[in-house]
Structure 1
Amino acid sequence: MSRIKIFADSTSDLPKTWVQQHEVGIVPLYAVFGDESLKDGVEISPEQLYARVDREGRLPKTAAPSPADFMASFGPYIDQGYQVLFISLSSELSSTYQNALIASGEFPDGSVTVFDSLNLSSGIGVMVMKAVQAAEQGKTITEIVDILTEMRPKVEIEFVIDTLDYLYMGGRCSGMQNLIGSLLKIRPVIKVTDGKMTPAYKVRGKREKAIDQMMNNALSNVDVMDNDTIIVVHSMCEEDALAIQKTLHEKTKAKHIEMATAGCVISSHCGPKTIGLVFVRA
C-alpha cells in the first residue's frame, strides 16, 4: 500500500499541535513588504505583521508559493515513495492552486494530487482534518478525494471583522465607507460562497452583538451539523475564541471543538480581532 503525505498551504489555519501530531506538510504563502517577501508563519508572525503595519501604515501584498516552492516541498516525499495530496486555498482567491498543479506535472503521473478546497482559513483546515483521518484509516487517494468532493459544498464559515481599516487599506472598501462604518460601529460579517469571500450581512453596534449573531447562525443549524469537528479561528482575540468554544461545547454534540489562530495572509486581509466559526453540514 502506498503511503500518503497530506499537505496544505499556510492559509489553512490548522491548530499547530494538530499539524505536528498528524505530520501535515505546510507550504507557506508570502507576505510582501516592498522588495521583502516573508514566508507566512515561518519568517513572520501575525503579531509581527500587525506591528509592522502600524509602524509603516501600509498592508503587505500577499503572494502564492511558486511552482518551485511546491516542488521543493513535495520532492523529498515523492523520493521516499509517498503519494502527495495537496489541499489548496480556493482557486478563486489565489494562484496557489494553479502553481501546485504546475508543480505536480514535474513528478511521475499519480505522485501528486492537487485538490481545490474552494475555501480559505479553517474552512480548508476542517477538510484537511477529514483527509488525514481518512488516510489514517487506510483510504486511497481516490477515496479521500471523493470524500472531500462530497464535503466541499457543506463547509460553512463566517468571519466577524472588527475594523474596516484593513479592508480599506487593502482596497476592499472606500474611504467614505470606512469612515461611515467606523462612526456607526458597523461590523461586517464575511462568508465564503463558491470559493469567494462575500459579505453575508452587517451588524451595527457592539462587537459582542456581531459575535452573538454569528453564533446564533451556527446554532440554528445544530440539527443538521456534522458532529465531528467545529473550528473557532481568531486573530489576536483568544479570550473571545475560548468563550465561543465553551458555548459550543455546551450547545452542540461535536466530538472535537478546535481552536486555531489565523496566519499572516488571512490576518492581513481581515485585521486584528477577527473571529470565525467553521462547521460542516451533515
Structure 2
Amino acid sequence: MSRIQIFTDSTCDLSLELTQRYQIGMVPLYVNFGEDTYKDGVTMKPARLFDIVASSGKLPKTAAPSPNDFYEAFAPHVARGEQVVYIGLSAELSSTIQNASLAASQFEEGQVTVIDSRNLSTGIGLLVLKAAHAAEAGSSVQEIKELIEGMTSKIEVEFIIDTLDYLHKGGRCTSLQAFIGSLLKIRPIVKVVNGAMILTDKVRGKREKALEQLLANALAQKEQMDEQVLFVTHAMAEEEANYVKRQIEQHTTVKEVMVTDTGCVVSSHCGPHTVGIVFAKK
C-alpha cells in the first residue's frame, strides 16, 4: 500500500510544529500589496501585514495558488509513488479548490484527491489533523475522503471581530456602518455556515462582553463537542486567546485546547485582535 501524503493550504492556520509533526504539506496563498506579491506565512507574516495596512490605509488583495503551484507541490510525491490528499479552503470563499482540482486532473486518476473543507482557518486545520491521524492509522484514500466529507458540516467556526475597519476597507460594510459601529463599539461575531461566513451577533460594548458571548455560544454546545481537540485561534490577541483557552479547559472535558495564530489571509479580512473558537461536533 502506497504512503498517503496529506496536503492543505496556508489558510488552515495550523502551527509549524503541528504541520511538521504530522508531515503535512502546505501550499501558500498569496498576499498582494499593489505590485508587491508575498506568500502567506512564508514571505509575509500577520504582524508585518498589520503594520503595512496601518501605514498605507489599504488592505492587501489575497489570491489563490495557481494550478501550477499545486502541480509543483504534488508532483514530487506522486513521482515517489505516494497518494496525495489535499484538503483546502472552502470553494465558497476562494478559487483555491478549483485550482487544486485543475492540478489534480493532470495526474492519473486516484493519484491526487481534492476535498473541499467547506471551512476556513483552523476549521480546515481540524479536518487536516483528522486526515493525518487516519492516514497514520492505515486508512485508505477513499476512507479518508469519506471521513472528512462526513465531518465538514460538524465543524463549528466562530470569531469575534474587534474592529469594523478591515471589513470596511475590504468592502464588506459601508462607511456609515463602520462609523456607527465604531461609535457604538459594536463587535461582530461571524460564523462559517455551509462554507460561507455569516454574521450571527453584534455585541455592543466592551471587548470583554464580546469574548463572553463567544464563550457562551461555544459552551452552549459543550455536550456535543468532540473531546479530542479544540482550537482557539487569534490575530495578535494572545492574552484573550489564553483566557478563552482556560475557560474552555475549566468548563468542558476537551482533552487538548490549542492556541494558534491566524495567517495573513484570515487576518487581512478580519483584522487584529480577532479571536475564534473552533471545534468538531460528535
Task: Please indicate, yes or no, whether the TM-score normalized by the shorter chain is above 0.5.
Answer: yes
Per-residue Cα deviation, 1:91-114 (whole angstroms, up to 9, x for no partner): 000000000000001111111000
Q: Is the 8 A contact 1:9 1:27 kept in 2?
A: yes
- Give the equivalent residue in structure 1 for 2:13: 13
Alignment partners' CA distance in 1, 2:255 and 2:147: 19
Alignment partners' CA distance in 1, 2:87 and 2:58: 30
- Give the equivalent residue in structure 2 for 1:36: 36
- Give the equivalent residue in structure 2 for 1:191: 191
**TM-score of the pair, normalised by structure 2:** 0.99
Shift of residue 160, structure 1, vs aligned partner: 0.2
Q: Is the 8 A contact 1:9 1:28 kept in 2?
A: yes
Per-residue Cα deviation, 1:63-110 (whole angstroms, up to 9, x for no partner): 000000001111111111110000010000000000000000111111
Alignment partners' CA distance in 1, 2:201 and 2:279: 19
Q: Is the 8 A contact 1:67 1:103 kept in 2?
A: yes
Q: Is the 8 A contact 1:15 1:259 kept in 2?
A: no
Per-residue Cα deviation, 1:121-172 (whole angstroms, up to 9, x for no partner): 0110111111111111110110011111111111011000000000000000
**TM-score of the pair, normalised by structure 1:** 0.99
- Give the equivalent residue in structure 1 for 2:224: 224
Give RMSD over aligned pairs.
Answer: 0.7
Alignment partners' CA distance in 2, 1:250 and 1:139: 34
- Off by >3 Å, runs of 4+ in structure 1: none
Where in structure 2 are there 5+ consecutive unaligned residues? none
Per-residue Cα deviation, 1:15-67 (whole angstroms, up to 9, x for no partner): 22111111111100000111121100001100110111111110000000000
Identity of aligned residues (%): 51
Query: What is the SS of the residue equivalent to 2:227?
Result: coil
- Give the equivalent residue in structure 1 for 2:101: 101
Where in structure 1 are there 5+ consecutive unaligned residues? none
Alignment partners' CA distance in 1, 2:135 and 2:256: 18
Q: Is the 8 A contact 1:84 1:111 kept in 2?
A: yes
2:49 partner amino acid: L
Alignment partners' CA distance in 2, 1:110 and 1:91: 21
Matches within 5 A, 1:122-141: 122-141=122-141
* Length, aligned pairs only: 282
1:146 partner amino acid: E
- Give the equivalent residue in structure 2 for 1:170: 170
- Give the equivalent residue in structure 2 for 1:92: 92
Shift of residue 210, structure 1, vs aligned partner: 0.7
Alignment partners' CA distance in 1, 2:228 and 2:15: 16
2:237 partner amino acid: C
- Give the equivalent residue in structure 2 for 1:242: 242
Query: What is the SS of the residue equivalent to 1:172?
Result: coil
Query: What is the SS of the residue equivalent to 2:107?
Result: coil
